[in-house]
Amino acid sequence: MRGSGLDAIVIGAGANGLVAAHYLARAGQRVLVVEQHQAVDPSADIGWIPPAVIRDLGLAGAGLRAEEPDPWITAPLPAGGTLELSRDMARSVEAIRRVSPADAEKWPDFCRRMRSLAGVLERLYLAPPPDIESNDVRELVRIAALGLYVRRLGKQTVIDLARILPMSIAELLDDWFEHDALKGALGALGIWHLKQGPRAGGTAFNFLHHHVGSPAGVFRPVQSNVTQTLNEMKRVEVRRGSRATVLAENGRATGVVLENGETIRAPLVVSSAPPRATLQPLAIELYPDFARAVGNIKARGVVARGTLTLGQPPAYSNLCIAPSLDYLERAYDDAKYGRASAAPYIEVQRTDGNRLELHVQYVPPGTQDGLAQRVAQILKVRPDQVQLQTAEESLYHGELTLDQILFMRPVPGWSRYRTPIEGLYLCGSGTHPGGGIPGAAGRNAAREIL
């Protein structure tokens, strides 16, 4: 048995778990992080890192790097050639003009309005979700301040918020554009990590969620080495190679037990693991309604990650195989009935020399037979050049659907990182603001604890 002198145990050494651990350590607590994987995941972290996290933890001086490829997306065109969208607005307008002059005229206004909406989400994501039942004056002032901020953005932003957030990404893009390749490349962002198609309600919100932190006209998030950077900082102890289960007695967390049977005691346990995986083993300590809500969290895996190895570095940084919204909808149709897509949406998200990281969607768990061959055929490479990992539960620990965001994440009534078990908190992607914002949930949870 171990635990003398420990103030807190954090489960999971991903970005959110490490951010929470570092904030607690900065406050003078002795923190142990336990992580089931032996090595640091070499994959890049995808998403906006809140500037407060970078500043508070000194990440800029500790080796943090962000990749911002330009063009930020390359989409093959059916008749040959590609549509390349750049970080420079004028260059993107010219590229779009070659395939659709009408779409080129609308592009700057579309980008400006989407950036304004994403800015509202940024404000929401830098703090716990609004507590709509609170009578606390400070909370009411915070909610009022957010409303005032939105109002100052102007009438159009207020209208856009009310209209666009519940829309499907297909409806939004059909309102603005006519060219299939442009709508396919943009629409893909709306269905990232969702077991939904582009015509499902709420996918416009998912699109805006992943636009958070990006400049106007860039609809793919940055990639960084934030987890690796945090791992290399020595502020907290990280113990790897063993899965941890929370221990609770009489409604209070008392520590964790490792796979080898070792018990580690601490009065505070903070889990960045999926809410369902954290809480279901403790069902006997939970109210039945809460346990049922946790069991009903939608976290359906549909993404297989993998690599493509070429003989030489490619001519592109990010490649998107989503020729149209119809293509994405048909790809989803297979997953809807439990099959891997016959023609999946594929995106090259990062290149490292001649090695490319792949995002392949829609692939329900256990349906990967023949998938590598289909991916190779679409990319026009040999099957032995494609290696895919097994698709698992949602990487976001809960899909970003309208019934699983803000004060309903992870479950209604328990959105502020606490759980019904005293001394047990959640800080992972399954909590507000969700996946794709590395470090935000960890920071918010640590601030609530402290």
pLDDT value of residue 4: 53
Q: What is the DSSP letter of 28?
A: T
| Predicted confidence (pLDDT) per residue in 356-391, tens digit | 899 999 999 888 889 999 999 999 999 999 998 877
| Predicted confidence (pLDDT) per residue in 393-402, tens digit | 788 999 999 9
Tell me: pLDDT of 351 over 80.
no
The share of the chain scoring above pLDDT 70, in percent, equals 99
| Alpha carbons 42 and 21: distance in angstroms, whole number | 20
Tell me: pLDDT of 425 over 80.
yes
| 32, 262 contact by CB (below 8 A) | no
Q: Which two tokens stand for residue 99?
A: 């395939």
| Alpha carbons 218 and 236: distance in angstroms, whole number | 35
Tell me: pLDDT of 57 over 90.
yes
φ and ψ at residue 359, rounded to 5 degrees:
-115, 115
pLDDT value of residue 323: 97
| Predicted confidence (pLDDT) per residue in 262-304, tens digit | 999 999 999 999 999 999 999 888 889 999 999 999 999 999 9
Give me the residues paired with residue 252 across strands. 249, 422
Determine how many CB atoms are found less than 10 A away from the CB of residue 442. 33
Tell me: pLDDT of 2 over 70.
no
| Alpha carbons 13 and 274: distance in angstroms, whole number | 13
| 91, 98 contact by CB (below 8 A) | no
Confidence class of residue 210 from pLDDT cuts 50, 70 and 90? very high
N-term to C-term CA, the chain: 27
Rounded to 10 degrees, the C-alpha dihedral 375/380/385/391 comes to: -10
Average pLDDT, the chain: 93
Q: Is 81 left (phi over 0), alpha (psi -120 to 50) or beta?
A: left
The share of the chain scoring above pLDDT 90, in percent, equals 77
More confident residue, 425 or 285: 425
pLDDT value of residue 1: 45
CA-wise closest residue to 440 among 426, 423, 428, 448: 428
Confidence class of residue 176 from pLDDT cuts 50, 70 and 90? very high
Tell me: pLDDT of 42 over 80.
no
Tell me: pLDDT of 3 over 50.
no
What is the mean predicted confidence (pLDDT) over 66-84? 93
Assign 3-state DSSP to the chain and report helix, strand, coil percentages, each to 5.
Answer: 40, 20, 45
Confidence class of residue 412 from pLDDT cuts 50, 70 and 90? very high
The contacts found for 254-259 with CB under 8 angstroms, 24 or more apart, are: 254/423, 255/3, 255/9, 256/9, 256/11, 256/34, 258/34
What is the mean predicted confidence (pLDDT) over 304-328? 91
| Predicted confidence (pLDDT) per residue in 130-161, tens digit | 877 778 888 788 878 888 888 888 888 889 99
Sign of CA dihedral 341, 351, 220, 61: positive
More confident residue, 353 or 91: 91
